[in-house]
Chain A
């Protein structure tokens, strides 16, 4: 999380509302990473950059409607999420999340054995495949909460629902995932048994 004092955001937003592009540029620099992540998990890597760019432009245009004293990040991410949903609707497809370069990245943890690494990879791919079977609403809540790392309350704002709805959707989404997955691959002793 690009943690910055909210009053600093407020100062930049105030200047940006007066037409100060440089102030807004600082907000872009501050939040572009999370904006791209949310776009990525909601509509896929190919469109994530364009979606984030479009969302920032729309945020600029909508600054007049930004409620004074509110947090900028969830407000911005709501625009990103809307833009991502529109894009995937127009494209008629969902995000395909791939663990691309990450698998080649050396682990900083205590070096796992080859078998453990293979098991971890298998679990992740199984879970990703199961997430792909969920409905859009369940998938979005999983993506925002766990892939983008948003809090429950932020997820609620971004997806435009109540916090209780996030909780119940999460619970149902996890149940949906469980039903698709066999415990065998999740058993810590799977390979040692």
Chain B
């Protein structure tokens, strides 16, 4: 029986419990890793980057110029050949299969763990949504461009892994210059409200130009489809076999792991 005019305690408690069952807690990606990174700092404090380094990094803006090329550059050829060779030749030649690294021969820099990556990068690490792709299988750090570059490799069920590249920088829309080859689609897209570029159909080189005007030529590692976009002060590049729509959805759904 309910009291006249107002709901009974039992009715109220039923609805309160129903509210609790339907509450959607916020996603807290990599909480465990973040806590651990903090504890390691507590246990053995590591010197923070000097103020001068941080100021220098903050002062460097990086613009991106994308140029698509028709043919494989020697470096790309090396990367693709190395990648294919990894799957074909070695299996026949060795009795005990060696542990193969996804990123070997991809010229990605220094391999490191997720915790080390969060510490080394001069920015909050961006990772593919953990709920869908899990943690990266391999991570690499390179010194250039300024502030460091992180490459996160994710194994997939197909032969090609996915590669997420990130570094501090920003693109001014007018500075994106495109040279389109016949077999390469280059299309402006929007990712989470920010400008991006979608490249599909062939390998391409990416040239980053810093504030001093010095070009840093980079090439695709996997010859998959590529999405380049910005997020905060970061420029991100995702090489994968995803379709344009899927890649954009992933780009809008990334997890951010704050620096410890």
Contact = CB atoms under 8 A, between A and B. Distances in A.
Contact of B7 (A53, A100, A186): A186
Given A45-B25, A147-B23, A21 B39 contact: yes
Interface residues of B, number: 34
Contacts of B25: 33, 36-37, 40, 45, 48
Interface string A110-125: 0000000000100110
Contacts of A28: 31-32, 35-36
Contacts of A64: none
A181 B19 contact: no
B6 A146 contact: no
Contacts of A29: 32
Nearest to A97: B23
A41 B26 contact: no
B9 interface: yes
Given A52-B28, A97-B23, A142-B16, A183 B35 contact: no
Contacts of A90: none
A108 to B, nearest CB: 11
Interface in A90-112: 97, 99-103, 105
B51 interface: no
Contacts of B5: 182-183
Interface in A1-15: none
Secondary structure of the B contact surface, majority rule: helix
Contacts of A159: none
Specify the main secondary structure of chain A where it touches its partner.
helix
Nearest to B26: A45
B12 interface: yes
Nearest to A186: B7
A147 B16 contact: yes
B24 interface: yes
Interface stretch (A66-74, A81-89, A160-168, A172-180): A172-180
B38 A53 contact: yes
B113 to A, nearest CB: 13
Contact of A124 (B9, B18, B26, B34): B18
A102 B26 CA distance: 12
Contact of B40 (A21, A41, A48, A186): A21
Contact of A102 (B8, B24, B34, B36): B24
Contact of B42 (A57, A123, A185): A57
Given A49-B31, A60-B39, A183 B23 contact: no
A183 B6 contact: yes
B26 A48 contact: yes
A127 B31 contact: no
A33 B7 CA distance: 32
Nearest to B17: A146
B132 interface: no
Contact of B26 (A40, A61, A123): A40
Residue from A100, A183, A185 having most chain B Cβ neighbours under 10 A: A183
Contacts of B17: 146, 149
B42 A178 contact: no
Interface in B31-60: 31-32, 34-36, 38-40, 42-43
B19 A146 contact: yes
A124 B15 contact: yes
Contacts of B23: 37, 40-41, 97, 99, 102, 147
A120 B19 CA distance: 10
27 contacts: A21-B39, A25-B36, A28-B31, A32-B32, A36-B28, A40-B25, A46-B26, A48-B28, A53-B31, A53-B38, A56-B35, A60-B39, A97-B19, A97-B23, A100-B24, A102-B24, A127-B15, A127-B16, A146-B13, A146-B16, A149-B17, A178-B9, A185-B7, A186-B2, A186-B11, A186-B12, A186-B15
